[in-house]
Structure 1
Amino acid sequence: MNDAAPHHPDVRPVRHVLVLPDRDAAEEVAEALTERFGVAEEPQLVRDALAGEDDAEDAQWLVVVEDPEAAHDPARLHDLAAEYEGWLEAE
């Protein structure tokens, strides 16, 4: 038995990437995504060092959200990221 949500042929799966300034902000956004948006899969946190930067302080954090049914409004995700001085990366 497959517990995954049914895939509709006219809906393309989407991956949202929210860029945050630090790990604390990324963790708070991931928690908010689960609580406020009800994302099915736990968001992934990824450290992204800026190109050419060796200093760990200059790292951004990415929160990756799989959205197989394209159910989450990008404008709302952008607003959430902006609350934590981040943004939604354009695909």
Structure 2
Amino acid sequence: MSDVRHVLVLPDRDTAEEVAEALAEHFGVDEDPRPVRDALAGEDDAEDAQWLLALRDEAGRLDPAELDAFAGRWDGWREEP
């Protein structure tokens, strides 16, 4: 069993929290991922931060392209590992 992870990058905290809730409904994920702030290098302003959601997918059942399209609905994307 491999340790597959997907990282979704989202524009703000509210969006990241909304996507985290929607993941369970849309993909049936068991865990409720926590949004994590990712400040851009050299930026102190919170407005310039992106928010990340990390998902475990040991079973390999989440399709990367589908996750990318899903995050795109909120102006986000799936980061390639």
TM range (shorter): over 0.9
Kindly tell me the number of residue pairs found equivalent between the two proteins. 81
TM superposition shift of 1:14: 0.7
CA distance in 1, matches of 2:30, 2:60: 12
> Structure 1 residue 13 and structure 2 residue 19: aligned?
no
- Look up the match of 1:44: 34
Question: Higher relative contact order by CA 8 Å / sep ≥ 6: 1 or 2?
Answer: 2
TM-score by length of 1: 0.84
- The answer as to whether partners of 2:10 and 2:16 remain within 8 angstroms in 1 is yes
Pick the structure with greater CA Rg. Answer: 1
> Structure 1 residue 29 and structure 2 residue 16: aligned?
no
TM-score by length of 2: 0.93
- Look up the match of 2:72: 82
Q: What stretches of structure 1 move > 4 A for 4+ residues in a row?
A: none
- Look up the match of 1:68: 58
